[in-house]
Structure 1
Amino acid sequence: MLKSMKSKRIFMMLICLLMIWIAGTFGPLKPYIQVVKQGNNTAEALQIEQTANGDLLSWLRQEAVSQTIPAIDAVNDRIWKAIPGYEGREVDIQATYRKFVESGFDRTTQSHNIPWVYKVIKPKVELNDLPPLPVFRGNPSKPMVAFMINVAWGDEHLQPMLDTLEKANVHATFFFDGKWLSSHTEMAKEIIARGHEASNHAYSHPDMSKLGEARQREEIDKTEQLLKKLGVTNRWFAPPSGDYSQLTVKIAAEQGLRTVLWTLDTIDWKNPPSWSVVAKVKAKVGAGTLILMHPTAASAGALDGMIKAIKSKGYELGTVSETLSSTRL
């Protein structure tokens, strides 16, 4: 009887030792066992043991507080009108814990070296939750910039601009005048095929605020129908010359479009030297900037320099939809 009990105790001890060996060799105890083997003192060994029993998760939670960035709601700004929201982030503690242990880190790891895994925090108020208001810029916390290229005449400068954009792996948003679009369908197809965004710039380039309701609706709708024939699902309306009224914004919204204008104007239609366009953009561009240009010699010559200047400031370049979305980079 005694011999049987003794055998059971030895067997159980062997099982425990085997489990500890497995945990120390392959499991979450590995980094702590290694530290003990390296000759740490009793206090460190005790701290490691406490960590192994769950203190690591508590420590990660404390460190994670500084990594949380709240979401920003879309707002109706007194000056900029509708400003999109921007997603925040918080640490996924369990996913970070698993990655931390698998990587063999210990608590001497600096916070900026911890392999954080994040979860997105959505804004409570999105751009689409705001009433019909024009948009002049993206969220200033989102480090992205967009080119708005309004196309209402000619195409001689479009090809070199497209080549420059493709070489830099940048996509822009082209706002098409309907009359131009109806006579330059193949060029529009090429622009879309290259991954650029196509949007609405009215049909005959009028001052929208000077038109009655029926005519404003017609100007937007005719171009929208042409875009649909090209397979485009559009979200934006850029009023010609930036001229609009609240009625314009309302009519565009009824067609599922938000009115969008610009943050920074290259004024390239005045034919400034390309270097001055680059200098202006470099000096004034910021996070969320929408840059207006046209297919002119000035912008064609300045485009490569603008892209380099924007990237040198740490901003990404995207379409209007990407820049005005709340998606976190």
Structure 2
Amino acid sequence: MIGRLALLALVAIGLSPGLFWRDDPPPYDQTSGVVAKRIAAGMQRLGPFAVGGVWQLLSENDRFGGYSGLVALSPNRLLSVSDAGRMMTITLEDGAPKQFAMTSFVRETEDSAKNTRDVEAITRDPASGRLWAAYEDSNAIERRSRTLAPERKVRPPEMRGWGKNTGPEAFTRLADGRFLVLSEGSRRMFGAVHPAVLYPDDPTTGVAGLRFSIRMPEGYDPSDMAALPDGRVLILGRKVRLIPPGFRTMVMVADPARIRLGEEWRGTVLARIDPPFPSDNYEGLAVVPAADGGYPVTLWLISDDNRMQIQRTLLAKLRWDGSSM
């Protein structure tokens, strides 16, 4: 969520001057389900990725939308979290989204503050089933049990200087038990270098993290991250375009073994997700390894519609054999 809300307002105005004029709102809806409508991908490949399909998720439910983080619970189940403290599980059948269940990730009360609900990223330990969520507005990390019961929530000192709306946006647990977290905000306004932290273990235990920086391709901010079978990570980057209005996304690969104190970590751009591929505000990325735990992997991307009429909730499926091009 960056101070990007102002940019989104400009995008909205550019797309539809009459967007904000509407009839009286319909009654609050908490019962409608979700429908997945397959849409044309427009291409068969994105760089080294094979396109497996794109679906637009549709619902009249007022608790639907705003999905900013995505993680695989199993090869056939995904969990997406929203910046409103809600979640949606997605059950896959024959490689396509078929069933959906929505509920609260954060317990809602009348005095719930934004900084207790703004979940921007989520990661998981496949062995224990535990999950960790990153909260942007409060710059906090929370650990949950495999049943999603809250266990511990902390505000790591390494992240306290990050902005309220530009905090931990990309977050993942590596196979060796380390954790990586990237700030959406850059060190300088509109800059390419973003603060980052590498934790040697579970950050909710109070362990100290290694501070470093990541250099993103110009104009892109990190929006999510997922670990790969060989120890590398995929990083999702997103930027807002005003002319023509819309979003641009890229996927790059980087090796945590190259992280050094005081040095800029860099990756290699693998693909740019631009039209004619269905484009929107992609903020969630999950990686599902092959049955043997290796390659090829399946990538799932979900977009955050910011609960705006002009945006969509898209779920995209890509396949990758681990090669660069």
The structure in which a higher percent of residues are strand is 2
Q: With CA pairs under 8 Å and 6+ residues apart, which has the higher RCO, 1 or 2? A: 1
TM-score by length of 2: 0.24
The structure in which a higher percent of residues are helix is 1
Flag the structure with larger Rg: 1
